[in-house]
Structure 1
Amino acid sequence: WGTPCLKGHCVTTPFPLLSQKALSILIRILASIPAVDLVLACRLVCCQWKNLVDGAALWILKCQQEGLTGAESQENAENWQNFYFLSKKRKNLIKNPCGEGERPHWGEVENGGDGWKIEELPGDFGKEFPSEEVHKYFVTSYEWCRKAQVIDLRAEGYWEELMDTTQPKVVVKDWYAGRSDAGCLYELCVKLLSENEDVLAEYKSETIAIPQDNDANWTEISHTFSNYGPGVRFVRFEHGGQDTLFWKGWYGVRVTNSSVTVEP
């Protein structure tokens, strides 16, 4: 297939030009190779292979083969290689979002009243969650309860150049509800942090008041960070609330199914 490269650069012997048909066949062959091997091995074979691996055609084909494309993604994905890797890696970076554990991974910023509690859906005077996959929720007490997680993006596989240059979207979502016999308050605050934990971007909801005698329906709140500039290394997610009647026990806001995803 030609003379190998040294450190990603071709030696002086020229690589024979391939016809359009041969290039098409080569792209189809390369598309069957795992993505990591394409970048770490195939890309170093020669200049022509490097150009193919760095080009859009190969990654468009891989995305099509693995069902990662659609009209919206084809229109918006400027870098198909990054689009492929981000799509494959897409997952919820929040640990224990639905209270299936006692609260591992969550740090308690504030634990007022009787503190946080985990309950089974739908709970007293509550409603079932819209998704059958969610079975539990966290509930607050009669003074402010807040809990937080800090996500290390590099540890999750989002390398520095990707975050600094591509700046993929960071999508934050949370679900909250009150119980129908008690009023409550809810807040969400998410920060994008630098290596030194300086705040580079921030979203803070208003304090949302749910009145007593509400319908107890679950409500989703979301925010998308984009064009946030270089240097983002961590995401800090914090939410919480309290009841407004100051009843002893757990009559405050209920939260579950929290999520932070990095998307193309």
Structure 2
Amino acid sequence: MSASEWKMKCEEEWGLQGAPMPDSVDWKSVYEARPLGRNLLKNPSPHGFSKDMPPPNPERKWSMERYFHHPSEVDFSSWNISREYLPRDRSGIPSTAVVCGWTSQIWLSMEQIVDLKEEGLWDELLDEFQPEIVIQDWYEESRMNEHIYELHVKLLGAENDTVIAEHSVRPTEDLNSDSYIWKEVSHVFSGYGPGVRYIHFQHRLKEKVGEGIARGFHKTLVTDSSVIVRPTKTSSQSS
């Protein structure tokens, strides 16, 4: 196929009529990369679960299956991982008391940076057309704590340090609920302005570790995380 035929194929299959499509772009490479409509995050379900299946049975909450994941079941490849250990609350405990069991809480941070040019998108599309960037994530509801999940997403410039747009959310859990469902968190970036070249995706998940007679380990599970660039823009952007 000729360069013009590859360009036409991209335009027709992705509905890009009206979007800037300069001849200087390698349209064969763009088509093969398929940057539009696919999930640009790698390893979107590191805990090995899917939102299309219920979370692990809460009635088995003390079982090895529920709380102690075998290392082979957790795959953090492609994610940058860090942990923040929160101080224990010792208020109300006399200094002479013997503590037989206690728990510690940890924020597990998981992040990725998506290089939009490397994924096959081109400057003119990002700067002039500004397609919608759709963020979606699913985490497991639980009564572990009032705050067990955070999402922070930033659209970054070419130097990977200039924030052009950002979105953060920190849901509050219903501690009276026993539903244990997957909860959706989503956001659509549109009309964000020119210059976006990278997306920084980070979610923070609460973990609880018990020692002594409170021995145990609970993770907040996450699944089907996605960053998708859609070949559309909002009506407010349309010319």
1:158 maps onto 2:121 in alignment: yes
What is the CA distance between 1:242 and its match in structure 2? 1.2
What is the CA distance between 1:254 and its match in structure 2? 1.6
Question: 2:165 corresponds to which residue?
Answer: 201
Higher helix content, 1 or 2: 1
1:106 maps onto 2:79 in alignment: yes
Aligned length: 175
CA deviations on 1:38-72 (whole Å, 9 max, x unpaired) are: 267xxxxxxxxxxxx6xxxx988x44xxxx67xxx
Question: 2:224 corresponds to which residue?
Answer: 257
1:228 maps onto 2:168 in alignment: no
Return the TM-score normalized by structure 2: 0.61
How many Å separate the matches in 1 of 2:111 and 2:141?
20
Q: Which amino acid aligns with 1:260?
A: V
Return the TM-score normalized by structure 1: 0.55
Rg larger in 1 or in 2?
1
What is the CA distance between 1:238 and its match in structure 2? 0.4
Question: 1:94 corresponds to which residue?
Answer: 41
How many Å separate the matches in 1 of 2:172 and 2:152?
12
How many Å separate the matches in 2 of 1:195 and 1:80?
19
Question: 1:10 corresponds to which residue?
Answer: none
Contact 2:208 2:217 in 1 (8 A): no
Question: 1:168 corresponds to which residue?
Answer: 131
Question: 1:192 corresponds to which residue?
Answer: 155
Aligned pairs (5 A) from 1:1-264: 36-38=3-5, 62-63=12-13, 78-79=18-19, 89-99=36-46, 102-112=75-85, 142-179=105-142, 182-183=144-145, 185-196=148-159, 197-211=161-175, 213-242=177-206, 249-264=216-231
Change (3 A) 1:148 1:214: same
Q: Which amino acid aligns with 1:90?
A: G
Superposition CA RMSD, Å: 3.5
Runs of 4+ more than 6 Å apart: 84-88, 244-247
Change (3 A) 1:193 1:242: same
Contact 2:209 2:217 in 1 (8 A): no
Where 2:134 maps in the other structure, the secondary structure is: strand
CA deviations on 1:69-116 (whole Å, 9 max, x unpaired) are: 7xxx9xxx643969x969874210111011156211100143547xxx
How many Å separate the matches in 2 of 1:214 and 1:251?
16
What is the CA distance between 1:214 and its match in structure 2? 2.4
CA deviations on 1:230-260 (whole Å, 9 max, x unpaired) are: 1101000000121579776442422110000
Identity fraction in percent: 31
Higher relative contact order (CA 8 A, sep 6+): 2
How many Å separate the matches in 1 of 2:118 and 2:110?
21
Contact 2:156 2:197 in 1 (8 A): yes
Contact 1:185 1:244 in 2 (8 A): no
Contact 1:94 1:151 in 2 (8 A): yes
Contact 1:182 1:252 in 2 (8 A): no
Question: 2:53 corresponds to which residue?
Answer: none
Change (3 A) 1:189 1:159: same
> Structure 2: any 5+ residue segments left out of the alignment?
23-29, 49-73, 87-103, 232-239
